[in-house]
Structure 1
Amino acid sequence: MSIATPQDRRLTGPAEFTCTAREFIEAADGDLICYWNCLPREDPLPAVLRDGGTPLWDRAGRVRIIYPTGALDVPRVAADAAWQQQRGAQVGLSSGLPPGAMLLTAAGAIVTTRPEGSDYAVIRDPAVLRALDALAELLWQRSDIVRAEPERLPTEAERQLLRMLVEGLTDQAVARRLGMSDRTVRRVVAQLMERLSAVSRFEAGVRAVERGWI
């Protein structure tokens, strides 16, 4: 399946994408639906979904996210999807997604048809938004809904380690305090970062606080 849409304007980069996406998320409190069928991890849409905050997760409407079939075999994507479900989002998998990605709200849409991501266009035309809404509903109806798994909470040792990450302690300092080897600390930190869908130790600490783990 492929799509072609007229556009109001093109976005010049991740910063403008994030600003526009947040504008749309905050401007309309109804349903939000998106699909993501892009290759690069640095595409800005997953970051917007991770960092959407209260306007995204406490909205009155549904939040539905469709990933390509097989995407949950990638640990980072699986961690993102699980975290989204814990926030109340519905997640689906589809083998028939168009290339690229879309975020759609009643206020507007951001769309790319490039499988490598980027090159997003902003859509505000009501007629086009209605057509995109119909497409999104069709994609959702044809997707396989993913059942939410109970969140695996950290152990007390992992909580202590996360608190030390927030404090900025080194692996060596953490190892000494917890009576672990440096190698074990590095392994546990890597596992926690993957579970939290974090790209840095600092981000892991922030996300742990957001989830109420520490």
Structure 2
Amino acid sequence: MGHTPTSVFRLAAGGRREQLVVEQYPRPQESYECMLYEMTGSVLESADGMLTKGPGQPEVEASAAMAARGVRVRAMYPRALLAEPEQAARLRQVSDTGVSVRVLDHVPHDLLVFDGQTVCLAARPSARDCEEPPLVRVTGQLLAASFGAIYDSYWQRATPLSRTSPGPHHAQLGERERAVIRLMTNGYSDDRIARKLGITTPDVQSVMAALMERLDAGSRFEAGYKLAREVDPRDL
């Protein structure tokens, strides 16, 4: 995999000194895939990714290979991908390989952290440059620890895929059903929900009965539990 000459720096922090190696790879897509396969074979403990685009087949294969070896693999993607059936299916495919997948409302940039020692970033293109940005790989534990902390802060704010992926029941929810569920989870009684929505109490009870039947739930509590596992409250 060709790349520009390597830059080597010396860092010192907290009494520790280490060598920092910075490599820049042109033609990012080709370089990214080559780097991905290289890192897949060498990573030992953890691989964390935050990506602005949906996963391609190389990412799915690399994630599966690492997870199969016992590597802890985490991945974050934009929530907007869930609105695209093909991308949503690809995210579930990644999750099925044993990867912990979460989604964010906004992913600011691509970031990969391997074993807490190597960081990969895609440099931002300039406004005048139409070419894809180069890939930058940085090796050094001191700097990698900082990027790892940044990754963890986003991870804590992200939502697990299991709670956001549109399941079969989520996909079938109508506007009235969403409104009833939203008010029910806020503790509203049937009468109060009816007044809020301008419908009758029997209408509210009919909506709940239909939901319970669809979810194969024996009670409202069970229906609420099953919906909580499928529906992100922000989608109601």
TM bracket, shorter-chain basis = 0.5 to 0.7
1:19 to partner: Cα distance: 1.6
Is the CA contact (8 Å cut-off) linking 1:110 and 1:120 kept in structure 2? yes
Partner of 1:95: 105
Identity %: 16
Matched, 1:144 2:159: yes
Larger radius of gyration: 2
Is the CA contact (8 Å cut-off) linking 2:36 and 2:62 kept in structure 1? no
Q: 2:25 aligns with which of 5, 11, 35?
A: 11
Q: 1:26 aligns with which of 41, 49, 60?
A: 41
The alignment partner of 1:82 has SS state of: helix
The alignment partner of 2:134 has SS state of: coil
Query: Which runs of no fewer than 5 residues in structure 1 stay unpaired?
Result: 1-5, 153-214
- Opposite residue 105 of structure 2, the aligned amino acid is S
Is the CA contact (8 Å cut-off) linking 1:96 and 1:139 kept in structure 2? no
**Counterparts of 2:90 and 2:133 in 1: how far apart (Å)?**
20
Matched, 1:62 2:72: yes
Q: 1:120 aligns with which of 135, 139, 149?
A: 135
Query: Which runs of no fewer than 5 residues in structure 2 stay unpaired?
Result: 1-19, 126-130, 169-236
Q: Indicate how the Cα distance of structure 1 residues 62 and 117 shifts in structure 2: closer, same or farther if over 3 A, else same.
A: farther
- Return the structure number with greater strand share: 2
Q: How many aligned positions are there?
A: 141
Deviations 1:166-207 (A, max 9, x none): xxxxxxxxxxxxxxxxxxxxxxxxxxxxxxxxxxxxxxxxxx
1:46 to partner: Cα distance: 3.2
Is the CA contact (8 Å cut-off) linking 1:101 and 1:117 kept in structure 2? no
Query: TM-score, normalising length from structure 1?
Result: 0.56
Q: Indicate how the Cα distance of structure 1 residues 140 and 104 shifts in structure 2: closer, same or farther if over 3 A, else same.
A: same
Mapping of 1:147-186 within 5 angstroms? 147=162
Q: Indicate how the Cα distance of structure 1 residues 46 and 35 shifts in structure 2: closer, same or farther if over 3 A, else same.
A: farther
1:52 to partner: Cα distance: 1.5
Q: What is the root-mean-square deviation of aligned Cα atoms in Å?
A: 3.0
Matched, 1:111 2:121: yes
